[in-house]
Structures are given as structure tokens and as C-alpha cells.
Structure 1
Amino acid sequence: MDNKSKVYTYIATSLDGYIATPEDSLEWLFKVEGEGDNGYSEFYETIDTIIMGRKTYDWLIANEKDNFPYKNKPCYVFSNTLIGKNENVQFINEDVVSFTNKLKISDGGNIWVVGGGDLLHYFIKERLVDEFIITVAPTIIGKGIPLFKEIDFELELRLKNIRRFNQFAELHYELK
């Protein structure tokens, strides 16, 4: 039996494949009529550990103020400049692949790579993501931060599930 943890990406994108505007705005996303929390709470209950990049962490601190959203779970932030930890996160300045593989074989449970095009791209390039849960909003924003950056290989996925949350479509894929 394989007890290895899985790495998930759970993210929303515009219909044309952007996760934010060039100015890092998500206002376009909040204009779409969803259903409840669009499955977020259900997903969050399956996750034990959070990983994010420094840009995502900085965005959260600037926009969520004192309401850090992942207080109840171990949270790691990859950073080249920050070290140590604070009340909410531990800063990691080591190889992403070896750190993630250590987490995957520990008893830490499932891992969520929270947002950030740069870190997600690295996880995809290194084939570290096991499952992709992508919620598509019926909005075309034209330009911004792409969900997927260019890669020089194909990544084959298998569709596990499709769900609808009013105007949102959730696509759930697993790595083949």
C-alpha cells in the first residue's frame, strides 16, 4: 500500500488561462456568481500541509492583513531571502524537489501548492503535482499572470471529475 502524500494544485483561472491580472488583482474572480464557497471547504479538509512561494505569501500579508487564512495547518514559504519562521509560516530556502519529496514520504498528509505562477511552474516542470483541481471562471481578462507557463514536454493527465458551482466549472485531473 502506498502511504505517500499527494501534492495538489487547487486554483481558479479565467477562461483564457490567467490566475490574476498583470497588477495581481483578483477582482475579476469575485464578480462571478458562485455557489457557497465553490467547494473550497471540502477541499481544504483533505489538505494537511500548505506550500507557497514568497510572492503569494507577500500578497496574502498585504491583502489579508491579520487574517492569515492557513493558521491551522503547517505552512511553508519558499524564499531566497527570508529565513526562520513566524507564528504562521516557516520559510524554506532549500531545494524544492528534495524538500517536497521529504514531505511526501513523511506522515504529513496531503500537500497544497497554493497559487503563484512561478512556484507552480517549477512544481509542474519537476512533475511534483499529483492532482490538479482547476476552477474556471467565465471571464476573459485578456492578459495577466498565466496559470501555466511554457514547458518543453507534455504532461498527460486523466480527468477524474467535473463539478459545477453556479457559473464556475471545476475540473479535477490526476497525473497519468
Structure 2
Amino acid sequence: MMGDELFYPGKEKIIFSQTQKGTIEEGQFVSGDVTEILRSLREQSGEMIWIVGGGNLIKPLLEENLIDEYWIQIAPVLLGKGKRLFEEGNYNYRLEFVETTQMGELTELHFRKKD
């Protein structure tokens, strides 16, 4: 939440946390194997599951081939050093470009995994 505004209003939120437990408005905290939890969500839901997170969350999903589409936002900031976009791991995929969206100073790239 930012101030009184909810992040992603109207969407159920499942937040992976090692320390927090319980529920929040429109969601809950979970812990455990991210791939097992995502597989369970995919079986329950007929809707798109949107994952927002860093490398620790994304890497196991990449290794288990569980991500179909990518929306990557690019901000015009040069840091000089930092973290990789995707952590090193046991995965190798070809992506196809879908579209680019301009959102103020951010550019969002949309890719889909090639079959």
C-alpha cells in the first residue's frame, strides 16, 4: 500500500514472505516452495497470474518453465553497477517480442516465450 492506496486494486495478492504471516486486504502472506504454490494457483485459477518480484522469486519459476509472458520495465537510470535482471540458473528460452508501451519515462517491453 502506498499511503491509503492499494497496490493493484481489485486483484488477489499472494505475498511470499519468510517472516510475515496472515492476511492483508485483498490477499495473504505465504511461504514455501514458490514453484509448488504457483502450480497450485494455476490449477485453481483460469486467470492470468501476474508475478512481481526479484530474482529469488523468478529464478525457480524460470528453471521449472512456469513463466509464459514477460513485461519488463526499463527506467532511464544508469547505476554503474547492480544486479542482473535474471539470476544465473538452469534455463534457456527464446522469447518473441509482442509490444512496447511508453508510460511516462518508463518503457515497458512485452515478450512471450516461444514454443
> Are 1:160 and 2:98 matched, yes or no?
yes
Deviation at 1:164, TM superposition (A): 4.0
CA 102–167 in structure 1, closer or farther in 2 if over 3 Å, else same: same
Per-residue CA distance 1:84-139 (angstroms, 9 max, x = gap) = 22334311123211221121122351111113232122322222211011122333
TM-score between both structures, scaled by the size of structure 1: 0.54
CA 165–75 in structure 1, closer or farther in 2 if over 3 Å, else same: closer
The answer to whether the 8 A contact 1:77-1:90 is kept is yes
CA 157–84 in structure 1, closer or farther in 2 if over 3 Å, else same: same
Question: Where does the alignment leave 5 or more consecutive residues of structure 1 unmatched?
Answer: 1-60
CA 172–84 in structure 1, closer or farther in 2 if over 3 Å, else same: same
The answer to whether the 8 A contact 1:133-1:171 is kept is yes
> Are 1:69 and 2:69 matched, yes or no?
no
Q: Take 1:134 and 1:95, find their aligned partners in 2: how far apart are those partners?
A: 24
Matched pairs, number: 114
The answer to whether the 8 A contact 2:99-2:109 is kept is yes
CA 139–126 in structure 1, closer or farther in 2 if over 3 Å, else same: same
- 1:111 counterpart residue number: 49
Per-residue CA distance 1:117-170 (angstroms, 9 max, x = gap) = 321223222222110111223332122343211123312212122344565433
- Superposed, which structure 2 residues align to 1:1-176 within 5 Å? 64-165=2-103, 167-176=105-114
More helix by share: 1
Q: Take 2:96 and 2:111, find their aligned partners in 1: how far apart are those partners?
A: 5
Q: Take 1:95 and 1:70, find their aligned partners in 2: how far apart are those partners?
A: 24
Q: Take 1:101 and 1:119, find their aligned partners in 2: how far apart are those partners?
A: 14
What letter matches 1:148 in structure 2? F
Percent identity between matched residues is 34
TM-score between both structures, scaled by the size of structure 2: 0.76
**Higher RCO (Cα < 8 Å, 6 or more apart):** 1
The answer to whether the 8 A contact 1:130-1:174 is kept is yes
The answer to whether the 8 A contact 1:68-1:88 is kept is no
